[in-house]
Chain A
């Protein structure tokens, strides 16, 4: 049987997340795979159109139900499990959406999950990082088990557009659970590029010392057209909001250019930036571990260097 892969789309109700196009990219590296994208939404019309253009997608399934106005794992998992039977693989992104959802699907299907797939070696063999990226495992799924997987999005480039998949509506077959209710989301809307997909990221650490000082980095980021990131220490101290955290427990990113400013380079931070093309470190400690991974290192006081950069770029 040829691989038949179902991808659970991530979206915000209007726009398909680029993570979905990356999951498609991962799925198309499985030889001879047929790829279906399923969209659970309150209104899936526009989203289905967007998914249909992704190169390599054969079918788009839509499931419309008011409960899917917000991404509740319990509701989506029940729905996906109900329609997963024909598929050999069910993939979702390794974002907080997918990390929350996919294991619930795997358990309902009584099957195994491969987390953070960074490469596909065959339909049953995958590579994934463990120990905050300090080791890479190659794993084999046994006995023809259905494979649930989360795709490490930093490892894949989104597929191009130009496709024309066939769109089908699937009936919402299960009564959604009532035990979980969405209350609110406090997303700081910003005009800056999105941290997860930005080509350039300016990131700050504990050294910034205050939320006020952190504004220095916003200035530099705006000049560079960059997104802003932060270390855990900076987020814990309240200098930056949690959605900016980069690392093992934050976002895993792969920008063209990453500027680590006043960040020491703990392994938990480095695992989030391993795939950045170029890393720049600015740190006053010449022995900071960040310099071991930096392509360009500048030893000095950030409070002098950042304004200088700003001026030279201005």
Chain B
């Protein structure tokens, strides 16, 4: 069985305007829309396309998080994933712990490819994929905008500061994906119905033998520094005069 494992995270939807709680204890999440992290959706889409091309037999999605992650897993099943694994925990895990959980699941699932988003848009940590690759002692290719699979290998084009870099990695490997890799499909109603029948297994950290250790404590959340309101200028000449006045030209 040629299997792809895709990690997903439930996050505040990217369209929501984030506000910090007045007491600095977190951000307001009551009643806000939650979604699959957009990068993870792209990772799943890529896995599905690889399967549709016949280069994989099964796509398994996994998330680590509280009980209310299940709607996002169902969305992934509706997109076309074959089954879902939910490692249920109410303790938010640090990326190293999440990578540890994924490492354990790899032992069970034996994927030839693990696809993750390059970052989650809530914590913006961008760590889990690389940490997983290290714990697994396998190659990593981050920020992918193109993935080509050949026998036992992957050629991955990466979006780096200089432009586009191409790496060749032996499989199995961890690839984290960037926005331009693909455009995820829309979920259709019949697929949502079908997804209800697909397997979704719930696991616990205890059943995997994992006791997460916190190495980082959040002391407070603050809103970012605000920029002061600017002025309107009426035309190009006025703009240049204003910039000259400020010593910028």
Contact = CB atoms under 8 A, between A and B. Distances in A.
A97 B17 CA distance: 30
Contact of B161 (A97, A130, A294): A97
Nearest to B168: A181
B162 A243 contact: yes
Contacts of B135: 107
B96 interface: yes
B82 interface: no
Contacts of B140: 73-74, 100, 104, 180
Contact of B130 (A103, A116, A139, A274): A103
A291 B227 CA distance: 11
B216 interface: yes
B179 interface: yes
A309 B127 contact: no
Contacts of B122: 130-131
B230 A104 contact: no
Contacts of A267: 17
B128 to A, nearest CB: 8
B189 interface: no
Given A104-B131, A112-B96, A295-B230, A180 B223 contact: no
A257 B244 CA distance: 12
A185 B160 contact: yes
A135 B223 contact: yes
A166 B202 CA distance: 56
B98 to A, nearest CB: 11
A268 B125 CA distance: 15
B155 A298 contact: no
B126 interface: yes
A184 B160 CA distance: 12
A246 to B, nearest CB: 12
Interface stretch (A27-35, A48-56, A208-216, A234-242): A234-242
A125 B227 contact: no
A168 interface: no
Interface stretch (A37-45, A57-65, A141-149, A156-164): A141-149
B240 interface: yes
B1 interface: no
Contact of A129 (B138, B168, B224): B224
Contacts of B170: 179-180
A107 B160 contact: no
Contact of B164 (A101, A132, A186, A280): A186
Given A105-B134, A248-B124, A249-B119, 14 more contacts: A107-B96, A125-B219, A132-B18, A180-B141, A181-B168, A249-B118, A257-B243, A257-B248, A274-B227, A278-B243, A278-B248, A293-B227, A296-B231, A296-B242
5 contacts: A74-B140, A99-B126, A139-B218, A296-B231, A298-B233
Interface of B: 12, 14, 17-20, 27, 94-96, 99, 118-119, 121-135, 138-143, 145, 155, 158-170, 173, 178-180, 214-225, 227, 229-240, 242-243, 246, 248-249
